[in-house]
Amino acid sequence: MIDSHAHLNFRAFRHDVEQTILEAQKQGITDIIVPGAKIDSSKKAIELAQKFPCLHAAVGFHPHHVNEYTEDVGEKLTHLAQQKGVVAIGECGLDYFHYGVTKDISLQPQLQRNLLEFHLHLAHTYNLPIILHCRDAWKDLFSCLSRFRAKKIRGVFHCWTGTKENVKKALSYNFYISFSGILTYPQAHQVHDSAKTVPLEKILVETDSPFLSPEGARHLRNEPKHVKIIANHLARIKSTSFTQIEEQTTRNAQTLFKL
């Protein structure tokens, strides 16, 4: 099985990343995609991918950090996108959620859209899939994607929280949809309903470690080994077997990231 999104490059794993990888492998996790969120974490993702064969890097600049983006950052990301071990662009996207006065990036939607379009150009230039983050910004995100439709950019909506209608839109761009620990939460009805409508051949699973620990591990730091919990919940929602989810999501991730 493949964890399609885990931030092993974040500080939460600075003391035990190797042990975390070993524990995941014991649970049958063969590959892990490690996305960047800024320049430093993108560099760390590449460093880890070059050290551990089961890890694969993505490089990107998360919309949470849009106020820190400069032309120099763009040049560095372009350089990083060409490095060994990089299989995707991201994590990037749009986030219009109101986080409060100290971190209200939603007040700068145009800057976020400009940053997203830079990532879309980067994905097209280097023929890499893109890993998209979207929160309260579906209309604008699909609008950005529409301007790149002719370029046939491939990618995945990570940590899906959208509606069934959003699913239809995402699939119309031939994107994959990835489900995280949110899928296991009893009150996440919208995510459950979305999962029922996504074809198996378009689904990925992820932990988004160290965040969003699934039910059964909510009191623990999230880790790639927990992706099996998410897969089990997905199997129940899709009325199929864990084995089918395991095999299909693995094939899907291998296809998207060319593993």
d(CA 113, CA 67): 12
- The tens digit of pLDDT for each residue in 110-125 reads 999 999 999 999 999 9
- Which domains does the chain show, CATH number per domain? 2-257 (3.20.20.140)
State the chain's mean pLDDT as an integer.
96
Helix axes 227-237, 242-257, angle to 10 degrees: 110
- The tens digit of pLDDT for each residue in 151-182 reads 999 999 999 999 999 999 999 999 999 999 99
Backbone φ and ψ for 3, nearest 5 degrees, come out as: -90, 110
Local confidence band at 101 (pLDDT 50, 70, 90 cut-offs) = low
| pTM across the whole model | 0.96
- Region 207-228: mean pLDDT is 96
- Region 37-42: mean pLDDT is 98
Backbone φ and ψ for 56, nearest 5 degrees, come out as: -135, 135
d(CA 96, CA 74): 22
